[in-house]
């Protein structure tokens, strides 16, 4: 049997839990009380059966919580599965996909996995998006992340893109809550599939629950591409409970994180990207060496490799002040060692 050459897997090392995980952008500000408050289990008999088709009960709960129209939410197994549905739809449309870089690495991986060969658009050096240039690419779909990972900026041209682009806009809004965007709006354009998650601000990454918000007709097309039972009854129960009682905890954590972000960003001299997200990206002399030294000190960060505008960058998740104090001390040492003695952090 001849197998295709697959060179686009998402390489994710297992770092365990003994070191401080600053590479996944998990919400490290939520207290243990939050998890006690949202923990909920299905009735014992429920685990005998499949969940309701497409987890529509949870979809309705999300719609009610956010004030969205009925039928506009498609529940997915994490945001990555939401991206997969949107990109599968783009593949069916047959006109290709553009990805605006630098951005979340999984977007390109998912596109390749569904048979697309995405073309690349790039932000300007001022992080602006040339909507006309994207339109001239002649593709049927475009992926854009806002607030963007790893540049941490809100893409102010997204609404213009939705209004002027004739194809599908796949909007990755994984970090929207950190920017204060709790309720999706751009789905109203009809050509926007806004992908959201409970893994980031809501701090429920282990449950693997995401959702896509779209106008009803587009949502129905995405739902048709979804497996009939995308998430477990356990995951659905906890997210329903989180929607019921957990938002005040999440909002407080976002406020606390914002304060730490402003403080931490001020400590780091030199080039960096920071904005309304739960991470900061720093340009360093040797990203691989810096990450290796930080890991030996007990901190795991993300190496961004040769992404556009990030030729040698590391990205780290923000954590509560005591952890950040220790991390920034180590970062200072590492920057001195990997920048020829020139410190970029005080």
Give me the DSSP letters along 213-257: E--HHHHHHHHHHS-S--S-HHHHHHHHHIIIIIHHHHHHHHHHH
**E strand or H helix that includes residue 330:** helix 321-338
Is residue 77 pLDDT above 80, yes or no?
yes
Q: Are 22 and 299 in contact (CB under 8 A)?
A: yes
Check the CA dihedral 148-252-345-23 and report its sign: negative
User: pLDDT digit string (tens) for 159-183?
Assistant: 999 999 999 999 999 999 999 999 9
Is residue 330 pLDDT above 80, yes or no?
yes
The β-bridge partners of 194 are 171, 213
Which pLDDT score, from 0 to 100, does residue 216 have? Answer: 97
Per the prediction, the chain carries an average pLDDT of 93
Confidence of residue 3 (pLDDT cuts 50, 70, 90): low
3-state secondary structure (DSSP) of residue 288: helix
Give the CA angle between residues 342, 343, 345 to the nearest 5°: 160
Span 203-213, average pLDDT? 98
Q: Please give the backbone phi and psi of residue 165, each rounded to the nearest 5 degrees, phi first.
A: -85, 135
Q: Are 134 and 100 in contact (CB under 8 A)?
A: yes
Q: Are 137 and 98 in contact (CB under 8 A)?
A: yes
* Close Cβ partners of 194 (under 8 Å, ≥ 6 residues apart): 171, 173, 184, 186, 187, 212, 213, 214
Give me 268's structure tokens: 């780091």
Which pLDDT score, from 0 to 100, does residue 8 have? Answer: 60
Question: Using only C-alpha atoms, what is the Rg of the chain?
Answer: 20
pTM of the model: 0.94
Check the CA dihedral 104-107-108-109 and report its sign: positive
Which pLDDT score, from 0 to 100, does residue 16 have? Answer: 75
Q: Are 114 and 135 in contact (CB under 8 A)?
A: no
Confidence of residue 342 (pLDDT cuts 50, 70, 90): very low
Q: Are 246 and 34 in contact (CB under 8 A)?
A: yes
Which residue matches tokens 């073309």?
119
Of residues 191, 129, 131, 132, the one with CA closest to residue 166: 191
Is residue 144 pLDDT above 50, yes or no?
yes
Of residues 187, 220, 228, 243, the one with CA closest to residue 55: 228
Q: What is the DSSP string of 95-152?
A: S-EEEEES--HHHHHHHHHTT---EEEE--TT----HHHHHHT--SEEEEESS-TTT-
Is residue 255 pLDDT above 70, yes or no?
yes
State the burial class of residue 248 (Cβ atoms within 10 Å of its Cβ: 0-12, 13-18, 19+): exposed
* Close Cβ partners of 284 (under 8 Å, ≥ 6 residues apart): 290, 312, 313, 314, 334, 335, 338, 339, 344
Confidence of residue 269 (pLDDT cuts 50, 70, 90): confident
* Close Cβ partners of 262 (under 8 Å, ≥ 6 residues apart): none
């Amino acid at each position: 049997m001849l197998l295709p050459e697959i060179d686009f897997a998402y390489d994710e090392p297992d770092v365990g839990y003994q070191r401080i995980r600053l590479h996944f952008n998990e919400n490290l500000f939520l207290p243990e009380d939050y998890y006690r408050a949202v923990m909920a289990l299905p009735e014992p008999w429920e685990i005998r059966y499949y969940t309701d088709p497409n987890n529509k009960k949870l979809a309705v709960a999300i719609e009610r919580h956010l004030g969205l129209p009925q039928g506009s939410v498609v529940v997915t197994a994490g945001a990555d599965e939401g991206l997969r549905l949107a990109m599968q739809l783009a593949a069916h449309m047959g006109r290709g996909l553009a990805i605006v870089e630098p951005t979340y690495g999984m977007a390109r991986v998912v596109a390749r996995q569904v048979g697309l060969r995405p073309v690349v658009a790039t932000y300007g050096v001022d992080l602006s998006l040339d909507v006309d240039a994207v339109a001239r690419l002649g593709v049927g779909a475009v992926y854009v992340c806002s607030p963007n990972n790893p540049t941490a900026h809100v893409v102010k041209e997204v609404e213009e893109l939705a209004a002027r682009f004739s194809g599908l806009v796949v909007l990755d809004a994984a970090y929207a809550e950190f920017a204060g965007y709790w309720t999706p709006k751009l789905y109203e354009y009809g050509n926007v599939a806004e992908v959201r998650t409970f893994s980031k601000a809501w701090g429920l990454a282990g449950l693997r629950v995401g959702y896509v918000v779209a106008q009803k007709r587009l949502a129905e097309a995405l739902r048709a591409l979804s497996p009939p039972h995308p998430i477990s009854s356990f995951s659905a129960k906890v997210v329903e409970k989180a929607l019921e009682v957990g938002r005040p905890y999440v909002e407080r954590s976002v406020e606390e994180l914002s304060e730490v972000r402003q403080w931490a960003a001020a400590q780091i001299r030199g080039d960096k990207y920071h904005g309304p997200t739960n991470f900061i990206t720093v340009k360093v002399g040797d990203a691989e060496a810096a990450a290796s030294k930080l890991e030996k000190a007990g901190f795991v960060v993300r190496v961004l490799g040769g992404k556009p505008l990030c030729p040698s960058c590391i990205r780290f998740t923000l954590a509560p002040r005591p952890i950040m104090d220790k991390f920034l001390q180590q970062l200072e040492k590492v920057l001195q060692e990997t920048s020829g003695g020139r410190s970029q952090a005080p």
